[in-house]
Chains A and B, each alone.
Chain A
Amino acid sequence: MPDSPHDDPRSAAVAAGTPQAITRDDVAHLAGLARIALSDAELDRLGPELSKIVEAVATVSQALEGREDVEPMSHPTPLRNVFRDDDVRPTLTPEDALAMAPAAEDQRFLVPKILGEE
């Protein structure tokens, strides 16, 4: 079972109004998660830029002080149980599916060798 994202001391620090600055290493780690090969210049620049933004937005949790009752809202509308029937709908043709592929072979998408395990 994956670890819950909640109950973490880092979150508590932010709520207390002391968010940590985002370091170059942090940016590098995040860029790895986001699969973006940032240049050295970008790595240098983004830490301070993002720290500034984070400082501005970290105050969000302060608005919740004393408001234990608030449920998070992920949707403006109270929609529930939006289902479709198990009926087949038209597919794309393989030609259309592959039309914009950077590379293809045998009616499949061709990608460079994958390093990670399946």
Chain B
Amino acid sequence: MTTTATDLVPFDEALERYDPVMGLEVHVELNTATKMFCGCPATFGGAPNTNVCPVCLGLPGALPVVNGKAVESAIRIGLALNCEIAEWCRFARKNYFYPDMPKNFQTSQYDEPIAFNGWTEVEVDGETYRIEIERAHMEEDTGKSSHVGGATGRIHGADYSLLDYNRAGIPLIEIVTRTIEVPGEKAPAVARAYVQQLRDLVLALGVSDARMDQGSLRCDVNLSLKPKGATAYGTRSETKNVNSFRSVERAARYEIGRHAAILDAGEKVVQETRHFHEDTGTTSSGREKSDAEDYRYFPEPDLAPVSPSRMWVEELRGTLPEPPPQRRRRLQAEWGFSDLEMRDTVGAGALELVAQTVSAGAAPQAARKWWLSELARRANEQGVELVELPITPEQVAQIQGLVDAGTVNDKLARQVFDGVLAGEGSPAEVVEARGLAVVSDEGALSEAVDRAIEANPDVAQKIRDGKVAAAGALIGAVMKDMRGQADAGRVRELILGKLS
């Protein structure tokens, strides 16, 4: 880092003087059964170097063969983003040396991407923003390196590195936006909304698990600032290692503040790659990009051109899911959510989760309630995304089902959530194991009510005198007695019945 400006300019202040210009590069790891250019399983995890062959290891003499399913997925992603699909395109070699790349070139696409000139619309706070998509192209993933000997397990200060090539060759689709110029205060949120929407799209297409925390959805945030009134674009930085939707927003905000501080100080922004740190929400300097590795692109001679017939493209167009804005409107109508409720749901990245919970049988408002309050709170506490919580929409629906059936009340339901999230089992198993079921035994309830009346004669008298509101204190006493495992409504009925 060569800048002397170490303070960030506060976000709002920065926006007074500068307009942010963003570009987002998102990599989607496809969920095909096999890799992009060979028949090795494309699975997550597994013992090192067990899913490799001469092709993805880059052994001398090995040759690639294109996975047709990956091409199909690439076209569908392109269509879902309203792109034109190339009539004829090729793969190209991107040549550079790095130990996680077995051939020391990446087979990718260069000036002939399979999809280009698209767009998608995202909604933030009730406003619609159109994001232009420059291109979507096919490429292959690299192997994974782990660094041994350094303090943090990161590359700096490591003694040596260990390479696992299971991931090498897994298909990736890279989606690149054109410059995004939206009102400054909205920019970070728009960036986040875009990545969330890509995730939703890709999930709806069924082509990827799209998990940022697992690396099947990756985002690089490019950002530069334009002084207000200027026409020339500023120097941009590229931030990598952005591992959640929230981090997309945080990284954008941080970079806006950092660039502003540099420019305010009259210095130049360094064109570089930066690394985002989840724990601090800051970025640090990586490799200077002005070195501009010369990738010496040329068309891949080992592969034939890809020229999808227009008929095939139309066939695939027929398999597309509903466009997101249309889907949101339909769901909102089906669920009866207000605009604000819908906005909050989308904003929390909970749209798909709520939809799946409703599909699993829960009422929409209940689904929304659980995801946006109870579970969102826990996700925030742990610093993870909703989708990373160890609970499924089906389980949430089951818990609501238990509430609907009267087996537990709301308060007890929260304990069921605790249990499921702690890995104690399914909702039913947790209720059983922890003995959380609401006591429906009238006799036991009646006895508990009697005990509460006896223990609180003054309150009881007030109720007899007509102060129905005082029943609340007795209800509380009974609930405490029953360790919460009573239906508050029934308790109230019993109290009033006995004291009327």
Which A residues are closer than 8 A to B by beta carbons? 1-2, 4-5, 33, 35, 74-75, 79-92, 94, 97-98, 105-114, 116-118
> Dominant SS at the A interface?
loop
B307 within 8 A of A: yes
B164 and A113 contacting across the interface, CB-CB below 8 Å: no
- Asked if residues A82 and B304 are in contact (CB atoms below 8 Å), the reply is yes
Known: A1-B134, A112-B160. A91 touches B306 (CB 8 A): no
Contact of A114 among B33, B104, B155, B294 (CB under 8 A): B155
Query: Are A111 and B161 in touch, CB under 8 angstroms?
Result: yes
C-alpha gap A36/B49 in the complex (Å)? 28
Question: B residues within 8 A CB of A114?
Answer: 98-99, 145, 147, 155, 158, 161
- Name 6 A/B residue pairs within 8 A (Cβ), A-sorted: A2-B295, A35-B97, A82-B304, A84-B68, A98-B49, A113-B159
* Contacting pair A113 B297 (CB below 8 A): no
Beyond A1-B176, A89-B38, 20 additional pairs, beta carbon < 8 A = A4-B111, A35-B97, A74-B90, A81-B304, A82-B66, A83-B65, A83-B71, A85-B69, A86-B33, A86-B34, A86-B69, A89-B34, A91-B50, A94-B49, A94-B50, A107-B48, A108-B48, A111-B99, A117-B273, A118-B155
Inter-chain CA distance A45–B146, complex, in Å, is 40
B132 → A minimal CB distance (Å): 13
The answer to whether the Cβ of B393 comes within 8 Å of any Cβ in the partner chain is: no
> Chain B, 398-438, contact with A by CB distance < 8 Å: what is the 0/1 string?
00000000000000000000000000000000000000000
Contact B134 A88 (CB under 8 A): no
Cα-based distance from A88 to B50 in the complex (angstroms): 13
User: In the assembled complex, which residues on chain A have CB atoms less than 8 Å from the CB atom of B41?
Assistant: 88, 91
| B47: chain A residues within 8 A (beta carbon) | 94, 107
User: Closest chain A residue to B98 by CB distance?
Assistant: A116
**B337 CB–A CB distance under 8 Å:** no
A79 nearest CB neighbor, chain B only: B304
Contact of B301 among A35, A75, A110 (CB under 8 A): A75
Contact residues of B between 124 and 146, Cβ < 8 Å to A: 134-135, 145-146
B162 interface residue (CB < 8 Å to A)? yes
**Residues from chain B with Cβ under 8 Å of A107 in the complex:** 47-49
**Shortest beta-carbon distance, B432 to chain A, in Å?**
40
Task: Kindly list the 9 A-B residue pairs having the minimum CB-CB distance in the complex, ordered from nearest.
Answer: A89-B39, A83-B68, A86-B69, A108-B162, A79-B304, A117-B287, A109-B163, A82-B304, A117-B286
Quick one: which of B52, B65, B71, B305 contacts A91, CB cutoff 8 A?
B52
Q: Is B53 positioned at the interface, with any CB of A under 8 Å from its CB?
A: yes
- Least CB separation from A115: chain B residue: B155
Q: What residues of chain B lie closer than 8 Å to A118, measured between beta carbons?
A: 100, 145, 155
Does B283 count as interface, using CB distance less than 8 angstroms?
no
Q: Kindly state whether residue B67 has any CB partner on chain A within 8 Å.
A: yes
Q: Decide: A82 near B65, CB < 8 A? Known: A92-B57, A94-B50.
A: yes
Residues from 149 to 163 in B contacting A, C-beta threshold 8 Å: 149, 155, 158-163
Rounded to whole angstroms, the CA-CA distance of A1 and B136 in the bound complex is 12
A81: B residues at CB distance < 8 A: 304-308
Grouping DSSP codes into helix (H, G, I), strand (E, B) and loop, the B interface class, with mixed when no group exceeds half, is loop
Q: Could you tell me if A111 and B160 are in contact, using CB atoms closer than 8 angstroms?
A: yes
Interface membership of B40, Cβ < 8 A = yes
Whether A89 pairs with B304 at a CB distance below 8 angstroms is: no
A33: chain B residues at CB < 8 Å are 294, 296
Residue of B nearest to A103 (CB): B160
Q: CA–CA, A82 to B270, complex, Å?
A: 44
Q: Check: B282 CB closer than 8 A to any chain A CB.
A: no
Residue among A84, A92, A116 making CB contact with B53, cutoff 8 Å = A92
Q: Are B297 and A5 in contact (CB under 8 A)?
A: yes
Closest chain-B Cβ to A22's Cβ sits at a distance in Å of: 15
Contact of B49 among A75, A87, A97 (CB under 8 A): A97
Interface members, chain B 24-83 (any A CB < 8 Å): 32-34, 38-41, 47-54, 57, 65-71
In the bound assembly, the distance between CA atoms of A85 and B70 in angstroms comes to: 10
Write out, one digit per residue, whether chain B residues 287-303 have a CB within 8 A of any chain A CB (1) or not (0): 10000001111010101
Chain B residues in 8 Å Cβ range of A1: 134-135, 176
Which one, B34, B90, B159, B161, contacts A88 given CB within 8 A?
B34
Residue of A nearest to B95 (CB): A33
Alpha-carbon distance A81/B51, docked complex (angstroms): 26
Does B110 interact with chain A (Cβ within 8 Å)?
Answer: yes
B159 / chain A contacts, CB cutoff of 8 Å: 113
Q: Which residues of B contact A91 (CB under 8 A)?
A: 40-41, 50-53
Compute how far the CA of A91 lies from the CA of B166 in the bound complex, rounded to whole angstroms: 11
Interchain CB contact under 8 A, B303 and A82: yes
Q: In the complex the two chains form, is A111's CB within 8 Å of B163's CB?
A: yes
Query: Shortest distance in angstroms between B56's beta carbon and chain A's nearest beta carbon?
Result: 9
Which of A86, A92, A107 has the most chain B CB atoms inside 10 A of its CB?
A86
User: Which listed residue (B38, B39, B160, B307) contacts A110, Cβ 8 A?
Assistant: B160
| Chain B positions within 8 Å of A94 at CB level | 47-50, 52
- Establish whether residues B33 and A88, one from each chain, have CB atoms under 8 Å apart when the complex forms: yes
